[in-house]
Structure formats: C-alpha cells, structure tokens
C-alpha cells in the first residue's frame, strides 16, 4: 500500500474511533452509568437518564451517521478517492 492510502486509512480509523467513543459515552455512559445523576433533570416530563437510555442514544447514533458521511466525503475528496 502506498503512503497516500496508509494516511487515508489512518485518518479513517481515527474518525471511526472518535465517533464510536462518542456513541459509547452517549449510550452506555449517559444511559447507564450516569443515569441516576441525569435523572434529576427532566425533559418533556421524563427523567434525562431514562431519555438517554430509551431515545437519546439512538438520536446520537443517527447524528453520528450523518457526521461520518460528511467527514468521509470530505476525506475522500482530500485524498482523491472520491468517485466523481
């Protein structure tokens, strides 16, 4: 593999690692570990810890998908791997 491809995959893997860490924090951290502390805050009548466990982590995941698509398209253009 040439240096350009190695640099591309290194940036790709670092992006995936950051996004997975954010997803883990939002789903496991906020939904399970910090649920008791977050339950002191209410959103729409529901405790925030419950909201993260039931809905919030899913919303974060969907947002992360769009961030990944945007960043990967930008990375593909930067390394000239885009299909256009």
Residue 72 resides in a domain: yes
Q: Is residue 27 part of a domain?
A: yes
The count of domains in the chain is 1
- Between CA 25 and CA 58 the distance in angstroms is 12
Kindly state whether residue 83 falls inside one of the protein's structural domains: no
| pLDDT tens readout for residues 50-73 | 887 788 888 999 999 999 999 999
Q: Is residue 84 part of a domain?
A: no
Residue 48 belongs to domain spanning: 3-78
* Residue 59 within a domain: yes
Dist. CA 29–CA 7, nearest whole Å: 31
pTM over cut 0.75: yes
pLDDT, one tens digit per residue, over 20-42 is 999 999 888 888 888 889 889 88
């Amino acid at each position: 593999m040439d240096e350009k491809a190695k640099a591309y995959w290194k940036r790709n893997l670092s992006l995936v690692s950051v996004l997975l860490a954010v997803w883990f924090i939002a789903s496991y951290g906020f939904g399970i570990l910090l649920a008791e502390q977050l339950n002191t805050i209410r959103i729409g009548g529901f405790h925030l810890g419950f909201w993260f466990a039931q809905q919030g982590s899913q919303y974060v995941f969907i947002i992360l998908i769009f961030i990944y698509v945007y960043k990967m398209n930008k990375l593909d253009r930067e390394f000239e791997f885009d299909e256009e």
